[in-house]
A and B are shown apart, each in its own frame.
Chain A
């Protein structure tokens, strides 16, 4: 299990290789990569700055991993979340789960990103093409996505 908060980009393929390297009984790896879009609420987006709460962020992500581990048969998992200034098409977040069978990996991965969206203390501030700077508003759909678990 591994959690990283970092400003630098990540290499999906290298991360998945690392995730699988310690286990010979993995039958499935499911990964989710979140990326910066160039539009939000009908406005063009030039860049996005991600802030977090050091200490609490790691604790929240560890709690999410731990809950997923109790619920599904997971062999290993990784969460990487970037902070700082990001541009459209940049990778923001990686959640990857390895398990013996695909069903467990799919469910655990979706649960972990849904939980991260509403429980980990990150905040996005975006710079729009019109020259404005605004904090991204939390979406009700993210709250309802978590409720299904």
Chain B
């Protein structure tokens, strides 16, 4: 399964990437599986994506860890929002 990943604000700056497409192994089902898969890249990936405050979105909606991922979907990782 191929999905689009996007990173915002401090998360984007620390990872040094704004967006990418990745091909996922077959056993990945949820947004949290994607997070754990990306953490295996090690270094800053492991550090940034393990932060307790990290927020995740799937298809432009706030996601829970168990939100299902589907072919071609867009998953985003970002810090708590600070608008207004």
A residues near B (Cβ < 8 Å) are: 34, 50-53, 55-56, 59-60, 81, 92-93, 113, 116-125, 135-138, 142
The minimal Cβ–Cβ distance linking B74 to chain A, given in whole angstroms, is 9
Inter-subunit contact A125/B60 (CB<8 Å): no
Tally of contacts, chain A with chain B, CB under 8 A? 70
Inter-subunit contact B76/A116 (CB<8 Å): no
Inter-subunit contact B76/A124 (CB<8 Å): no
Check if B61 is an interface residue, CB within 8 A of chain A: yes
Inter-subunit contact B84/A135 (CB<8 Å): no
Inter-subunit contact B8/A51 (CB<8 Å): yes
Give the contacting residue for A135; candidates B9, B57, B62, B83; CB below 8 A. Answer: B9
Check if B23 is an interface residue, CB within 8 A of chain A: no
Closest A residue by C-beta to B83: A122
Bound CA span A50–B79, Å: 14
The minimal Cβ–Cβ distance linking A132 to chain B, given in whole angstroms, is 14
Tell me which residues across on chain B come within 8 A of A59, comparing CB atoms. Answer: 60-61
Tell me which residues across on chain B come within 8 A of A138, comparing CB atoms. Answer: 53, 79-82
Check if B6 is an interface residue, CB within 8 A of chain A: yes
Inter-subunit contact B83/A120 (CB<8 Å): yes
Bound CA span A55–B57, Å: 12
Give the contacting residue for A53; candidates B57, B80, B82, B84; CB below 8 A. Answer: B57
Bound CA span A142–B82, Å: 9
Tell me which residues across on chain B come within 8 A of A34, comparing CB atoms. Answer: 84
Check if B78 is an interface residue, CB within 8 A of chain A: yes
Known: A125-B9, A138-B81; 12 extra A-B contacts, CB below 8 A, are A51-B9, A52-B83, A53-B6, A59-B60, A60-B62, A81-B83, A92-B84, A119-B62, A122-B81, A122-B82, A123-B82, A137-B80
Inter-subunit contact B84/A56 (CB<8 Å): no
One digit per residue, 1 when the CB lies within 8 angstroms of any chain A CB and 0 when it does not, for chain B 48-70 equals 00000100010011100000000
